[in-house]
Amino acid sequence: MSYEFITVRTEGDKVGIITLNRPKQLNALSPQLMVELGQALKAFDADPAIGCLIITGNEKAFAAGADIGAMATYGFADVYRDDYITRDWETIRSIRKPVIAAVSGFALGGGCELAMMCDFIIAADNARFGQPEIKLGIIPGAGGTQRLPRAVGKSKAMDMALTGRMMDVREAETAGLVSRVVPLDKLMDEALGAALTICGFGQLAVMAAKECVNRAFEGTLADGVMFERRLFHALFATSDQKEGMDAFVNKRQAAFKNQ
């Protein structure tokens, strides 16, 4: 498939890499870009050879938010009728393989929200995060008011949403928004290394781990622990569990078959 606002490639036939590609607009997330992103995510998720996905941008911007020019003329009837955001942006929530955000430069508004919708964020030392929607007379609309407090706590999330200020990468790492910080020129190596590590494990266990961690954000502790326990039990029905444990006991490398 050919795309106008993203580029797509694979690494080692195992990692699907999606690069947001509207550099002149700092990768502003237009409706068409989000449709293309959803299509590419779904295609990689359906490809049995792919074990992990990466979404990235360019040096200056991961994404500076939803496309303000496109939104400027929308009225309530347009956004409500078209189910703006939900219809195209939430595709990523249905992706079952891990999705890593490799962030450099600005990750603002919808860009910060897109990064937070990924499973974890690896950031370059020039990354800056923020929810500046308040300056536009709106509020974050792609989950920012919900995912940011879960990531960094209420006080900092409230500060970001109410003042619209940016967080540099050190603050983001200390607050728990990003999992690793690396020099800009090492960003893709680090993200690929993490992705290839994940691809080396059994896909069923990887998908179950992702599903369980996501549960921690959407229900009570008791429900989450029960969900985890059931999937943990279910993995004992897989050949990958036999293989992984036999390999450990016999001091050899495991060869997972994703079964």
Q: Which residues are catalytic?
A: 66, 110, 113, 133
Neighbour-count burial for 162-189, b at 16+ CB within 10 Å, e otherwise: eebebbebeebbebebbeebbeeeebbe
| CB of residue 56 to ligand CAA, shortest distance in Å | 17
For ligand CAA, give the closer residue by CB, 67 or 240.
Answer: 67
Q: By CB under 6 A, how many residues form the interface with ligand CAA?
A: 22
Q: Which residue is nearest to ligand CAA (CB)?
A: 109
Contacts with ligand CAA in 54-93 (CB under 6 A)? 64-69, 85
Stretch of residues binding ligand CAA (CB under 6 A), selected from 44-52, 93-101, 108-116, 224-232: 108-116
Q: Which of 5, 44, 106, 227 binds ligand CAA (CB under 6 A)?
A: 106
For ligand CAA, give the closer residue by CB, 113 or 119.
Answer: 113
Stretch of residues binding ligand CAA (CB under 6 A), selected from 7-15, 74-82, 128-136, 146-154: 128-136
| CB of residue 33 to ligand CAA, shortest distance in Å | 11
For ligand CAA, give the closer residue by CB, 121 or 198.
Answer: 121
Residues making contact with ligand CAA (CB under 6 A): 25-26, 28, 64-69, 85, 106, 108-110, 113, 132-133, 136, 140-142, 144
